[in-house]
Structure 1
Amino acid sequence: MSREIIKIVTTTGMIADAAKIVGGTRVNVTGLMGPGVDPHLYKASAGDVTRLSEADIIFYNGLHLEAKL
């Protein structure tokens, strides 16, 4: 079984927290939106696009929460 660290990118902090709890030491989690950011209005930066393209897994809420991402 591989022990490679899985790169996870999440949209919101709440999803990042859940991914960290579930993945533990097997994951490296990056959340794109910090505290106080409105996910409905958030627009991805060039750095965000790079992080998303380099991720092994992307977790997002959907249902138009991250409408402009």
Structure 2
Amino acid sequence: MDLSEFIDTYRDAIAQRVVESYPPRYRPSDCGKPLPRLLRTPLGAQADAIRGAALSLEEHRGTTVVGEMGTGKTFIAA
């Protein structure tokens, strides 16, 4: 069995184990915290990225934001 077959076969079990071992620190459905007034309105999931980064910064001195284009990285950095 090669790696791609292994992942295809055990995908659900692997994902479940990862979530159990490393639970998300932020879940959009659990956080209704309103954003303060911003110069621009975040689009789509950008508000969730902003809230997640803010939550991380409340608990740590620094944080790293990694995401695809359009997820709010520049918005957060500004």
What TM-score comes out, normalization by structure 1 length?
0.28
The structure showing larger relative contact order (alpha-carbon pairs under 8 Å, at least 6 residues apart) is 1
Q: Is the radius of gyration larger for structure 1 or structure 2?
A: 2
More strand by share: 1
More helix by share: 2
